[in-house]
Amino acid sequence: MVKKSRFSELKKDRPIEVEWVDIIQHSGWEAEDKREKEEPAYCRTVGYFLNANQHVLRLSSTISDGERDVTVIPKGCIKKITDLERIVDEINTT
């Protein structure tokens, strides 16, 4: 999980990439040895940071005139957050 202090560095509408793991579920019949090897889904979501609380991080992929969509990711699922604005700033200064 990402360090607690990392969330406090994020500012509203800052572009970020969140790498996180998600639950998978298969209801079809498969051989047991195949099911024993199943792993969670590794996900990457890019968006604009909205906010975070003790349990979740919220971000939006689209913002328009005070309206936005939302993706809510449990903090316990988050493996890494990349500050995309910082990367762009580094590219522009080199």
Give the pLDDT confidence score for residue 68 in this predicted structure: 97
Spatial neighbors of 83 by CB under 8 A, at least 6 apart, are 9, 10, 14, 15, 16
For the chain, domain boundaries: 4-92
* Nearest-angstrom CA–CA distance, 34 and 57: 33
Print pLDDT tens along the chain (94 aa). Answer: 565 556 778 899 999 999 999 999 988 999 999 899 999 999 999 999 999 999 999 999 999 998 999 999 999 999 999 999 876 666 666 6
**This prediction's pTM:** 0.81
Q: DSSP label at 19?
A: E
Across 22-48, b (16+ Cβ under 10 Å) vs e yields eeeeeeeeeeeeeeeeeeeeeeebebb
